[in-house]
Amino acid sequence: MRIRKMEKGAKNIIGEKIVSLRKSRGIKQKDLLVQLQIRGVDMGCSVLSKIEGQTRAVYDYEVAAFADIFGVSSDELLEIHSVEK
């Protein structure tokens, strides 16, 4: 498994959830890109990596496509879990 070389960003709140959902379903980035393309969202590997690394903002139509692919609601992707201290 490759280790992320860059620090995680703060430009979106769904990147970690996308990685988690993708890996839990055994989906490779290339396969996810194909599914996005089927839904009319054309993006390259570097863009997906930036979204997953939270260094790129996500457009509303991309959120909708990710939700459709993973069979979850957009709200679930955008859900922020508060951590008790």
**Average pLDDT estimate for 57-83:** 89
Q: Which is nearest to 9 in space by CA: 45, 58, 44?
A: 58
Stated as kind and residue range, the H or E segment containing 33 is: helix 29-38
- Contact between 50 and 6 under an 8 Å Cβ cutoff? The reply is no
- Give yes or no for residue 34 having a pLDDT over 90: yes
Whether the pLDDT of residue 2 is over 60: the answer is no
Residue 84 has pLDDT above 90, yes or no: no
Q: Give pLDDT, residue 81.
A: 58
Q: Which domains does the chain have, with CATH numbers?
A: 15-72 (1.10.260)
